[in-house]
Structure 1
Amino acid sequence: MRLILLDDEPLALRSLGAQLGKIDEIEIVGSFINPVEALAQAESLKPDAVFVDIDMPQLSGLEFADRLLAMDDSITVVFVTAYDDYAIKAFELNALDYLLKPVHPSRLALTVSRLQKQMVSGTVSSGLHAKPLSFKTAIQTCPCLVVEDKGGEPLSWRTVKAKELFAYMVHKRGQPVRKETLLELLWPDVDEKKGYAQMYTAIYQLRKSFKKSDLGIDLVNSGDGYLLKEDSVTIDAFEWEKELRALQELDADTEERHASVFSSYPGDYLLEHDYDWAEGERQRLRNLRYRHGLALCRYWSETNRGKEAADAYEKLLTEFPYAEEIYEALIVLYDREGYGSLAMRQYEALEIMLHSEFGEAPSEAARKLYEQLRDKQQ
């Protein structure tokens, strides 16, 4: 196991290194008193884990860990500190453990044992460019919440409240959520004492279910609240947005990738659940979907890819049935491609939609286009 040690106190650094050096299968690949230097060399040293002091003047251990995990979140962090007040914050950063100074050999051995067990089980990757785990827990949020176990079977929920609590923790992924927030959100009309009891019961049931299924998911204590801790987990809505934001400018070279992201849209976020708190995120993701889809349709239309454009427009129309500009774009496209009757039917569908939903008529430009289409048909 390859380790980096970081502590601005040289004596403490040497002491920790000496203790670790007595343990089999441990290789200390770097010892640093300067966190900036440690960050600079981390990629070339490829550590499996780092032992880092929290209280350092130039860059705190928490900040160091945050930057290191941003480079590669497969590296395991163990904090060393003289103050146990830092423990909660340490675990918010998904630290494996924290050690109080002076570090006792038996306590250090326990931490190393945990590291070695994780290495054997595959939950700690080796090096900055290690391969991902073969299994990833899948959390589906679109259009409803489903968590699949390793056999592909959906996880069952003991209560409706437990399911919504977990959905909200997924929604706030990476952020600690205060107990008071959960109480106000899920048990607003329940007596406070009874509400807390129900919340603790729901948390217990979720933890028990996750542990039994061995999914790499847990709800850990974080100050006066909870934090969703997940190892090797994919969440459909977040994965789709990540792919979307990674796209390069749309052109002939990137068109295929854009089309793939368009076709992989998982559906509307938590659509089948009556969660008021999810509405804002649902609309935000829908807006991303709409803008990207419209840009792709227009690109295909402008590059004389009529069939691809029409198919994509029709797909968008099923998702955004009140988007007048999609109707109008299809009218123009069908007319240009020589499908006058389809263009006229599209106008008629637009007319019916606007009248029934908004009590309005199509725009003057759309009406003139329809008149031109009608004249062509006569």
Structure 2
Amino acid sequence: MFNAIIVDDEKPALDVLKLLLEKTGQICVVGSFMSAADALSQLQSLKPDVAFLDIEMSEMSGLELAGKIIEADGDIEIVFVTAYDKYALEAFRVNAIDYILKPFSSDDIAQAITRLKKVKPLPAVSQMPADKGRIYCLGRLSVYGAGCREAVKWRTSKTEELFAAEFEAITDAEIAFSAASIEKYKKALKLYKGNYLEENGYTWSQNKAEEYSQRYRGLVSELAKYYTTKTDYTNAEKILQKALTKAPLDDDLNEMLLKLFFMKKDNASLVMHYNKIKELYEAELGIAPNATLQDLFNRTFEL
């Protein structure tokens, strides 16, 4: 297994690259840094076989950092990562073994490792660390790869990943209500805490975030309809109100809630909610609520 360090002043890119590298089972990331100076200060103690360096960093360019690393230890191989392809010539002038363009892919990583093996064979079995990896479950979950001195830093909390997987499993099949499935769907709604990885700002997760959002809103809609047909207006209102805290500008959910108030003849709540979304639509979108929502509001005064 090769020991590697990563230097990138963008945290999301740093985390994604580390995850992809360790996923191969051939790279142990012994250090990840957002500062070139920090990486240089720990170079001798970490003794990496390869350094993955972002080229465009504010403190020190990856090209300059590569020169300093090679000066300190000529046996360390260099792989550059960057969002731009204009540095290819400069990269290979410092004898980099590969040049990976962002966003990263597993194929890019596999190619880099293949090139690394050509110039630096994997350590012999006798040199491999006896440590087979460790998982600590008491307190905070910590996972260490074989021989790694630094715990794996998940791109998000492991719990969040497991919740996302469970939410997807529940909502994969066609929605069908029964006494047993109701509890399952209610659990799915509780699992959905917000857009997938929204706090991390990863552009690569946006499609999955939108998919989960649509699944969530679809499940809310169907469950609210189910409760309404059972005249269980309390639960119908509860899940609609909860969903609207996550998607306050969703026309369909707002329409369902106004219709629910209309069916209950709860004019006060209808007017209050309409005025709330009217202000929100004007402030956020610069438009008035759509014609259907306006019609529901106007019909209140015809009763």
TM-score, normalised relative to structure 1? 0.42
2:230 maps to: 303
| Alignment equivalent of 2:17, drawn from 141, 165, 178 | 165
Cα distance 1:364–1:242, how it changes in 2: closer, same or farther (>3 A)? Answer: closer
Q: 1:323 deviation in Å? A: 0.6
Conserved? CA contact 2:134–2:145, under 8 Å: no
1:93 maps to: none
1:188 maps to: 83
Q: 1:330 deviation in Å? A: 1.0
Partners of 2:280 and 2:211 lie apart in 1 by: 24
2:296 maps to: 369
Q: 1:314 deviation in Å? A: 0.8
Conserved? CA contact 2:217–2:243, under 8 Å: yes
Conserved? CA contact 2:163–2:191, under 8 Å: no
| Alignment equivalent of 1:349, drawn from 268, 273, 276 | 276
**Structure 1: 4+ residue segments shifted above 6 A:** 182-185, 197-201, 214-217
* CA deviation map 1:219-266 (0-9, x unaligned): 9xxxxxxxxxxxx99633122211322576123442222112222224
Secondary structure of 2:133's match?
Answer: helix
2:245 maps to: 318
| Alignment equivalent of 2:208, drawn from 278, 281, 287 | 281
Q: Structure 2: which amino acid aligns with 1:335?
A: F
Q: 1:183 deviation in Å? A: 8.8
Conserved? CA contact 1:324–1:350, under 8 Å: no
Q: How many residues are matched?
A: 194
Tell me, yes or no, if structure 1 residue 265 matches structure 2 residue 265. no
- Root mean square deviation of aligned Cα: 4.3
Conserved? CA contact 2:255–2:292, under 8 Å: no
2:133 maps to: 211
Cα distance 1:348–1:163, how it changes in 2: closer, same or farther (>3 A)? Answer: same
Conserved? CA contact 1:331–1:343, under 8 Å: yes
Partners of 1:328 and 1:370 lie apart in 2 by: 10
Unaligned runs of 5+ in 1: 1-156, 174-181, 202-207, 220-231
Conserved? CA contact 2:227–2:236, under 8 Å: yes
Q: 1:166 deviation in Å? A: 4.3
Q: 1:374 deviation in Å? A: 3.1
Conserved? CA contact 1:247–1:258, under 8 Å: no
Q: 1:375 deviation in Å? A: 4.5
Conserved? CA contact 1:236–1:266, under 8 Å: no
Conserved? CA contact 2:167–2:188, under 8 Å: yes
Partners of 2:302 and 2:132 lie apart in 1 by: 66
Conserved? CA contact 1:187–1:195, under 8 Å: no
Partners of 1:286 and 1:368 lie apart in 2 by: 27
Q: Structure 2: which amino acid aligns with 1:211?
A: G
Cα distance 1:210–1:269, how it changes in 2: closer, same or farther (>3 A)? Answer: farther
Cα distance 1:210–1:300, how it changes in 2: closer, same or farther (>3 A)? Answer: farther
Partners of 1:195 and 1:314 lie apart in 2 by: 55
Partners of 1:186 and 1:300 lie apart in 2 by: 53
